[in-house]
Structure formats: structure tokens, C-alpha cells
Structure 1
Amino acid sequence: MRTRKLGALEVGAVGLGCMSFAGFYGETDIATSHDTLDAAREHGMDFLDTAELYGMGRSEEVIGAYLKANPGHGFKIATKGGIVPKPTRHFDNSEAQLRKALEGSLRRLGVDHVDLYYIHRREAERPVEEVVETLVKFIDEGKIGGFGFSEIAPSTLRRAHAVHPVMAVQSEYSLWTRQPELGMIQTCAELGVAFVPFSPVARGMFADRFPDPATFADTDFRKPQPRFQVENFKANCAMIDGFRRFCASRGWSPAGAAIAWTLDQGAHLIPIPGTRSRAHLQQLAEGEAIRFTDEDRHEINRLLPIGWAHGDRYSDGQIVGVERYC
């Protein structure tokens, strides 16, 4: 697999999002998750993305157990903090809270350093410059290699980057979620910041088979999302069907083509699709090898024009804390 730059690091062009290891999209087990990590290594997917919030540390514990059993793993690790779920969910980017969160993540991962530490959600009331000063302390202490932010606005990135170089910004970005094209992808390119798209396979919509919302457990992250409600879901499936037929005509899996599309949007993009399956992971990795012609790009844009998705990407409760900039 080709590599891309993540700060001073070189990582596989496609990383692995590990939220599913915590059961966000259905139950799994540690053996299946570890088999997925084995497959990631085999395909050169050496950048893992997790968070304190994923299963209240469960994803980090799964990864930590793997790292302990495989000391030569070669993975670069990113994790996140800044969301406090109890007693009521809120955001706290204070030094005390971030230090507590980071130390907990390091303990669960079984490491004394992570390559990248994200602010999972920005605390709007606290100046981002103050937050950066805290993160620089963590760098100086050797606890993190660099830092980033999740779901922020370009203006916030510029303010943070003026204090200390930001390593990465992650946001949802895919063929059905295109908001980052309205400033964030361009700002990251200008500043030399990696842009890390999560959910590049549209929460399973570009898999070989559509997910069935009727089977979603109450804990499934997608269940309250407007795009998966009955009428919106039907309309979204109808749109994607045409894209699937096009992919079949080219000999691509829809998932692989969706990954290839994100990679095609800029050399500074490092998508982090998530899966609990070795077979699905292979399709994701194969996306890195797909090369589009101008004709392919034109047809994809015709089939899935910008803004085509029916329904919002998050429920009203889930979108709290996401910085909206347009």
C-alpha cells in the first residue's frame, strides 16, 4: 500500500477506524477484532483510530490486548478525549480533564505514548489557544507525538495552528457527506495538516449489501439518524443502486470505490473506514489500488451529485458539539 504523510510520520494511505470494536454497529468479540487487526497489518493499514468514548474504553482495551500480544505490530495509534459522558454528556477540554482522559487511554492501550491525540469535541466556551497549550505540554512530556481535532471549523483550525502546528483534523466525509469541501479540506491542504475522513463508506451504505435498519439494536449508532429513517433510507438506496451498477461494470466493489473516491480528493486525505470483518477489510484496502479516469469521475458525480443524500447525517442529539461553518 502507498503511504501518506501524517505530520512527520508515513502511514498507509488507508487507516482503520476502531469504533466498531466497541459494538457501535452490533456486537463483536475480541477474537474477531484481533483477526481484523491481523488483516490490517497484512494489507499495510498501519494507522489505527480509536477513542476513550468508544465503549467507555472498550475499543482501546481490545487494541491494547493486541499490542501486548504482538510487540512488533508497527501500528501508529490515534485516540481522542474531551467528551465526558456522565453524569450528563458534556465537553471538557481543561488540562485536568484531558490529562485524566489521556492517562486512562495510555493505560488501556498499554503504551506510554500515542502518535496522535485528538480533541474529540471542542469545548466552545474555552479558547482553543488554551487547549493547544495543554496539548503542547503533552508533547513536551513525551505522551503524544502530535495533536488534532475532530469535527471543527476551518476558523478554529487556523486559530489552533497559529499557536502550534496541528497534525490532523478528522471529520465525516464520503460520497454522501460533503460538507468538508466547503473549506476544511482546502484549509488543511494550505496549512499542511492531514485531513482524516471517518465513515468514508457511509456507515455501511456502500457495502455489498445495504444494512437493514429494521434489525438495528437500540445501541446501534445509526438507529436515530435521519438518513436511516424509512423514507429517506429508501431514497438513499435508490441513489446508491446506480453507483453499484457502475462499480460492477468496472469490476470494483462499492466499498473499494468509495475509499478510492476519498483518496482521489487530495494527497493529504487519509480515510479511516471501520469494520469488524476481515473480508470487508480486504475490500477497503483494495480501494487504494483503484485509479479513476476523468470519465469515471464524471460518471460518479452524475450518479451521486453533491448534496444527493436524503436526511441529515446525525440526529439532533448526536450533532451537539460539531462545529457548523456553513
Structure 2
Amino acid sequence: MVLAIVLRFRFIHSLEYKLPLEYLLLWSIVTIVFTLGYKMDSSLNLLRKKAEKDLDNTTYKSTIVVVEDSDIDANIIKEVLSPLYVVKHFSTAEAMLEHLSELTVSLFLFDYKLPGLDGIGLCQHIRGLTDYEHTPIVMLTGEAYANFEHKFWDAGCNDFIAKPYSATTLQKRLAKELKYNALLEKHKEASMIDSLTQVFNRRYLEVVMQQLSARHESPEVSVLLLDIDYFKKYNDRYGHLAGDAALVVFTDAVKEALGRKTDFISRWGGEEFAVVLPHTNYDGCVLVANRIMQILCEERIQHEDSPTGYLTVSIGGVMVNETPKDWKTLFLAADKNLYEAKEQGRNQHVLKVQ
């Protein structure tokens, strides 16, 4: 593109009626800036459209729980929303709360004027539940109650819609809340995931361990710290791209070794990883450590600067009979055992009961 502009500049300057050189230079610069700007705007528009499409796909068939005592209004709502979402209808707040544990809710849609517990009381109750403290809540209200908006905001509503409303307004307002919440969840998840290995990062680990310590949910907890042996030498010999690929294979091997959904791996830093095993005694801790080493061995990732000739791992672990009040002490003990495993020659585990 720049070459074409330069050639055009020379052509114009070579014409019989030559323009001043500074004008032609200015014209060339302006042309380049506007051309690049147009292309950037086009690219941004394409990215924006793709992001909007992704959000549409993410929110499609989300579950909307409707609490509306009027059968006529409820049927209209279902007719408007059902093509895009899964709609669950209840006539009273009490009926919905009775079945709430059976539902996975993406958005609540409450009528303000309900028999028994009204919409504001229901909204306050929902906001008091940990699982739904951030779930979007939209209130439907008659025109006579529209001036109650401060009560709706104070109760924790995300938005409210005054009756009568159009089908388009209902769809657009709910779609906005669902997409915004999906975007927040996406960024929240991204902030907790290691971009390379796609396992949880240290920030997520800290959050989970603080929750375990506060709730005392697990009577027995085991943790493992894993350190890939001679990994700096691996990067020096094969390059960092190969090192990144090896980290991905390693984390996949660890995930394969973990047999339960409650077990998880997170990246501790560099080539070090942490594994948390809730409700796991010493024997279970040994079993998992052995499986990690065995599966990694079966991968046979070549490492010419390792005594074994392939990639291995050292593991330090600790098991406690009850969740410690300070989870950091757990990892300090595991780190000490990891150091002992490396001092004894690597490619082994040192696991102890605390």
C-alpha cells in the first residue's frame, strides 16, 4: 500500500503542472493515515461482531426463572422468551424457592406484586444466597409502582421494566443483562486460568484454600508441590517454545492422574505446580503422586540433559487430618519436602503426615 502511494506521488509530481513538493508530501501522509485508519476500523468492527456473536451463543438457551402470578402475563413472557431461552415459571415466590436447589439459573425475572412474599422481599432473599449473589435479577412492575425504583435498586435488582412493555423491550433488556453477566464470568475465569497450560493459576489456588480454611469442609487434606526436574536445562537445549509445549504435556499428564472432580492442579510459578486433594488421606496422597510420576514417565519426553534421558518430576507433599487455619503453612511444609526430594536425587516424592 505504501509503495503504491509513493509511485502515485512520483507520477503526480512528474506531471507538467507540478504541485509544490510540500503539498504532495502532506497529501501522501494524509492518504496513508486515512487508509490505515479505515482498515483498523474495519478490523475492529469484525472483532466486535465476532464478540457479539460469541456472547449470543453463550447466552442461547440460558435458564430464566420467572415468578409471575398472572397466567396471562406468564404465557406472554414464555411466548416471547422461549425461542431464545429456557423459561421456568412459578406463580409464587415460595414455590420458586422450594425448587431453587434443582435449578441452574442464569437470570431471575420477578413480578413486583406477588401473593405472599413480594418481588422486593424475594430479591433480597436471593441476594442473601451465596450461589446467586451476582445472578441478574430484573423486576416487572405496574405503572403505578414505577416510582418505587429506589426500593428495587436497594433490594439488589439489576434492572426493572414497567408494564405495559413491548416484546422487543423485554428481549433486549434481558439479553443485555445476560450478555453483561456472561462477559463478567468470562473475564473472571480468564483471571483465574494460566494462559499457557490452561490450568488454574496461583490466584485461584489462594481463593480456594482460603475458602477451605474458612469453611472447614474437608477433614483430611493433602497437597503436592511438583517441580519438573532440570527444566532450565531443557529450555536451554530445546528452546522456550519446546519448553512451553512440554509444560502443556506435563499438566495434561497430571490432570489424567487426578481421578476426582474435587482434585485440581494450579500453576505455582514457572515449572512448579500445586495439586490440592480434598478428603484425601496419606495413602491416597501416595497413590496420586505415584500415578503422576508413572504417567509422565510413559510420555517419554526426551531430555538429553537429564540423568534418565527424559523429563521427570520431583514431588513434595503433606497430609493433614483437618484443614489448617493458615493454608500457607501447608504449602511451606510441602515445599520443605519438595526440597528434600530434590536433594535426594530428584525423580521421586517425599510425602509426610503433618
TM-score, normalised via structure 2 length = 0.24
* Higher Cα radius of gyration: 2
Q: Name which structure has the greater RCO, CA cutoff 8 Å, separation 6+.
A: 1
**Higher helix residue share:** 2
TM-score, normalised via structure 1 length = 0.25
